[in-house]
Structure 1
Amino acid sequence: MDTGPDALRRWLDTHAGGGVGELSVEPIAGGRSNPTYRLTDGRRRWVLRRPPFGHILPSAHDMGREHRVLTALAATGVPVPRTVGLCRDESVIGAPFYVMDMIDGVALRTRQDTARLTAGQRAGLADGMVGTLARLHEVDPAAVGLAGWGRPAGYLERQLRRWSAQWEASVTRPRPQVAELLRRLGATAPGCRHPGIVHGDFKIDNLLVDRDDPTRILGVLDWELSTLGDTLTDLGILCSFWDQEGEFHNPITAGATALPGFPTRQEVVQAYAAARDVEIEGLDWYVVFADFKIAVILEGIHARHLPGHTDDARFEGLDATVDVLLDRALERASCSVVAGLRG
């Protein structure tokens, strides 16, 4: 935190119903993007999220967007933490932030975490993930006050422009894969057939599950990229992070779902299509785009890490990880059933 907890305690006291005692503040490990902290006064517990330190990509890390969507989804059946308040006054901790209630759940971040589950629990967790994503995508944005929160029409074209600009804003060295991917994706971008609320980073380690029943999802976290758009981009992200045995694993999830009990990627897609009663066409485009977007995000983190704005050991080696993701995106594009993606 940039300042002591006194100013934060005073702010929290006015937003959490009063009676907030002396605060203890400690960072929560796990996130690679927005720093997250655990707050407690010995009786109650909260979570604080703020933008990253140092180099920040334009339009990224908007605390207000995260706070707004969490607040809007509170009564929808999509499991999200209850928001406490949003603070744009940077004098409190040195940056904008928001606070939410802490969920007493477990994050399954690694293969070691999911290896502790039984095969039946893994299957149940996968069912819960697919059901949760489908439930989110079926929420009527207007009914929860998010009608003007984004523009589904032209969403994918704008996404390509945005992530191309994000790449240029954070690139640490030239990579020819980027121009080729953007050329192919731009030439084949589909229309927005399934508009709705997009999470933007839906994967297993952005969930909190029940400690006693890991098939029960208590909270979906990390909504910084959420908007209104093409909901199939979330399915593409989920597929990018859905590791299978015998295949290259996404460097972030590193094999977390490549264990008995977890369904195949194709089975996940089929279950999602059945849950929403929709036809899934051209998903290759969304998976290739997901690999590219993840590479851009990691390049942004790498750009912050180089001058010492982050000192987390997990950020070492991100330079090579970016190349691996870009190469996989090109390989997937070259094998796609979408003709224009093949080159």
Structure 2
Amino acid sequence: MSDGQDYFERLVDEDALRRFLAAELGEADAYEVRHHAEGHSNETLFVTWGDRELVVRRPPPGETADTAHDVLREYRVLEALQGTAVPIPKPVVGCADHAVLGSDFYVMEKVAGDVLRDAEPDRFATPSARQQVGEELVDTLAAIHTLDYEAVGLGEFGHPPGYTERQVDRWQQQIDWATERTAAERTVPELDDVGEWLAENCPEEHEHTLVHGDYKLDNVLFAPGTPPELAAVMDWEMATLGDPLADLGWMLSYWRDAGDPEPATPELTATFMEADGYPTRRELVERYEAATGIEYENDRFYRTLAVYKLAALGEMFYRRYLEGNSDDPMYPRMEQRVPALAERARRITDGDEPL
């Protein structure tokens, strides 16, 4: 049995899933399950059920349902956002019975379209379409941040006061955990400097909104056809109530302007939005401010925090590689990528990589 097949069988008991779907949705003549291997957090399965195309989301096998893998929390958000201005996949059913797949999971309708991960579709390769891609991306973020979260039943979904300070503390702790092992291979003292700068420059007050937690171009899906239409925001497992500018800073940290330095993490950074027609970061900010009425203050802090978080993730990847807990070919590259990210964070704090 191949490693891939073994992993697939750890993800899904096809007979158990079929019985579950039949009980919930009625019997179907056609049934097929495929593993969608993109992403680095929760697992995604594509399921054909009769004439319906469905998606199953579940944690990686062996993981407990902490914040990063709490798929039923994600399902709750999708249910709450039905009928709002935020485009999302339609949730079908959630399941907390581990007898089915060995974990919590939920089922949603599959949305047709494209994720702009490595390149733009040919149909978007015009200046006007590129402009609209950026506008759709930032307008949808504005819709998330201006949503009345109390009205849709998410008033107890998080604790917004102190969110930003907790983010700094949380990611410092993640770096500390990773460096318990990685420091024997090489150290990244610049990360300590960046962490201290963030703690000293953390805004004391911020707006309270629903936040996505991982909002960027490759976590949304564009409908088929033109002009570009953002059809669904995906991957809500990190959603909570908090500081909207943390979402905006994260999105901007992945967005490229023409003339930017080479990416610190080329494996995770698309560059096609440097082409003619895509809005600049500043243009995205101006459109966001106009749509939300929220002023994007403390840009250096929020973009530095975003890069710091990415560095923390990279260092955790590197520790897992060193301990033999992953065969992802990207993980060993973090030996060099994390120092490059730390250097990028320092450039932002020093004003050398402006908005």
TM-score (normalised: structure 1) = 0.89
Distance (whole Å) between structure 2 residues aligned to residue 337 and residue 194 of structure 1:
25
Structure 1 gap segments, 5+ residues each: 339-343
Task: Please show how residues 162-177 of structure 1 align to structure 2 within 5 Å.
Answer: 162-171=170-179, 172-174=181-183, 175-177=188-190
1:68 partnered with 2:81: no
> 278, 295, 302: which is aligned to 2:311?
295
Count of paired positions: 337
1:231 partnered with 2:231: no
Distance (whole Å) between structure 1 residues aligned to residue 307 and residue 353 of structure 2:
17
1:203 matched residue in structure 2: 216
Structure 1 position 50, deviation (Å)? 1.8
Structure 1 position 89, deviation (Å)? 2.6
> 237, 253, 261: which is aligned to 1:240?
253
Distance (whole Å) between structure 1 residues aligned to residue 115 and residue 327 of structure 2:
22
Distance (whole Å) between structure 1 residues aligned to residue 122 and residue 174 of structure 2:
33
Question: What amino acid sits opposite 2:49 in the alignment?
Answer: D
SS of structure 2 residue aligned to 1:39:
strand
Task: Please show how residues 44-193 of structure 1 align to structure 2 within 5 Å.
Answer: 44-53=52-61, 59-111=67-119, 113=121, 117-171=125-179, 172-174=181-183, 175-193=188-206
Shifted more, 76-85 versus 5-14: the winner is 5-14
Identity of aligned pairs, percent? 37
Is 1:54–1:304's contact at 8 Å kept on the other side of the alignment? no
Structure 2 gap segments, 5+ residues each: 1-7
Distance (whole Å) between structure 1 residues aligned to residue 255 and residue 122 of structure 2:
13
1:7 matched residue in structure 2: 16
> 229, 233, 242: which is aligned to 1:220?
233
**CA gap 1:88/1:187 in 2 versus in 1, 3 angstroms:** same
Is 2:182–2:315's contact at 8 Å kept on the other side of the alignment? no
Distance (whole Å) between structure 1 residues aligned to residue 94 and residue 264 of structure 2:
33
TM-score (normalised: structure 2) = 0.87
Distance (whole Å) between structure 2 residues aligned to residue 21 and residue 298 of structure 1:
44
**CA gap 1:267/1:56 in 2 versus in 1, 3 angstroms:** farther
Question: What amino acid sits opposite 2:256 in the alignment?
Answer: D
Is 1:45–1:101's contact at 8 Å kept on the other side of the alignment? yes
Distance (whole Å) between structure 2 residues aligned to residue 44 and residue 329 of structure 1:
45
SS of structure 2 residue aligned to 1:98:
strand
Is 2:117–2:270's contact at 8 Å kept on the other side of the alignment? no
Is 1:114–1:256's contact at 8 Å kept on the other side of the alignment? no
> 297, 314, 334: which is aligned to 1:281?
297
Distance (whole Å) between structure 2 residues aligned to residue 257 and residue 219 of structure 1:
20
Structure 1 position 54, deviation (Å)? 5.8
Structure 1 position 18, deviation (Å)? 1.6
* RMSD (Å), alpha carbons: 2.5
Is 1:291–1:325's contact at 8 Å kept on the other side of the alignment? yes
Deviations 1:60-118 (A, max 9, x none): 22112211111111111100001112223333223322221100111110135479621
Is 2:30–2:51's contact at 8 Å kept on the other side of the alignment? no
Is 2:182–2:319's contact at 8 Å kept on the other side of the alignment? no
Distance (whole Å) between structure 2 residues aligned to residue 168 and residue 146 of structure 1:
32
Shifted more, 109-118 versus 178-187: the winner is 109-118
1:335 matched residue in structure 2: 351
Deviations 1:208-240 (A, max 9, x none): 101212520000011111100000111101110
Distance (whole Å) between structure 2 residues aligned to residue 243 and residue 198 of structure 1:
22
**CA gap 1:29/1:226 in 2 versus in 1, 3 angstroms:** same
**CA gap 1:254/1:318 in 2 versus in 1, 3 angstroms:** farther
Structure 1 position 262, deviation (Å)? 0.7
Is 1:13–1:19's contact at 8 Å kept on the other side of the alignment? yes
